[in-house]
Amino acid sequence: MNFPRAAARHFVLAALLCLGTPAARAESAQEAHARLYAEARKAWSADPTNPTNVIQFGRAAFDHAEFAKGNSQRSTIAEEAIGTLKTLLGREPKSGAAHYWLAMNLGQLARTKTLGALKLVREMETEFLAARELDKLQDFGGPDRNLGQLYFQAPGWPTSIGNHKKARVHVDEAAKLASDFPGNQVALLEIAAEAHDFKTAQAQIKALSDGRAGARDKFSGPEWQADWADWDSVRDRCRRKIDEFQKAQAIRSKR
């Protein structure tokens, strides 16, 4: 299952200039997330019962797993994070962030499975729903956004939990909670376009275009590179879908 990225974390990277030498090479997204993962894992290892350390490790593990070289490395990263997040939830069952990042890392693990992914999808749903109940605003409406994408991408009944109506409800909610976050706009765009709700889809394309400069400033740096690539790819694919549908309609209307 190709589980979507969640939003990457924002941090500032300083450019290093050395007298008489060229400027340092810019850090790539993969390098940035590898560094953040190493730092978070070190902090967690030093104090594994600290809730902040556990959450930061779970978040960094998800992002780092995006760049895994294969299923073995991805599952190793995800399983360690899953274990420590479940341990934290055993002590603090009301931690919305722990439920959220547990679901996200279950998503990474699901990507490495075939039939075993279906069981993990249901567990992801449970954790996202718990995260939504406890803190729906986290990660720019992340629980609703990712529930929407989960319902959109999963196989439907009776195989799994896929349901496009539920998907639309949740991405609509995410868009209301954080209307200027491109990830929410793109999620709504994709699901609306698939349902041939082109009025909504075109409104999201316009919102993405109108807010692009500000969003690029707000969500900048190498840690956002992969997100922007994903968002632009989905936008362009949906734009083509709308254009093709409208052209086909115009041809039919002339017959």
Q: Tell me the pLDDT band of 252, cut-offs 50, 70 and 90.
A: confident
**Mind listing the pLDDT tens digit for each residue in 20-62?**
333 456 688 899 999 999 999 999 999 999 999 999 999 999 9
For residue 137, tell me if it sits in a domain: yes
For residue 166, tell me if it sits in a domain: yes
Q: Residue 156's beta-bridge partner residues?
A: 162
* DSSP state letters, 116-155: THHHHHHHHHHHHHHHHHH-TTHHHHHHHHHHHHHHHHS-
Name the nearest CA neighbour of 8 among 42, 47, 34: 34
For residue 80, tell me if it sits in a domain: yes
User: Contact, 139 vs 7, CB < 8 A?
Assistant: yes
For residue 41, tell me if it sits in a domain: yes
Output Rg (C-alpha) for the chain, integer angstroms: 20
Residue identified by tokens 């109108």 is: 210
Domain range for residue 56?
29-187
Supply the CATH number for residue 48's domain: 1.25.40.10
**Mind listing the pLDDT tens digit for each residue in 181-190?**
999 999 999 9
For residue 160, tell me if it sits in a domain: yes
For residue 205, tell me if it sits in a domain: no
Provide the whole-model pTM. Answer: 0.87
- Is the pLDDT assigned to residue 17 strictly greater than 60? no
Number of domains in the chain: 1
For residue 195, tell me if it sits in a domain: no
For residue 197, tell me if it sits in a domain: no
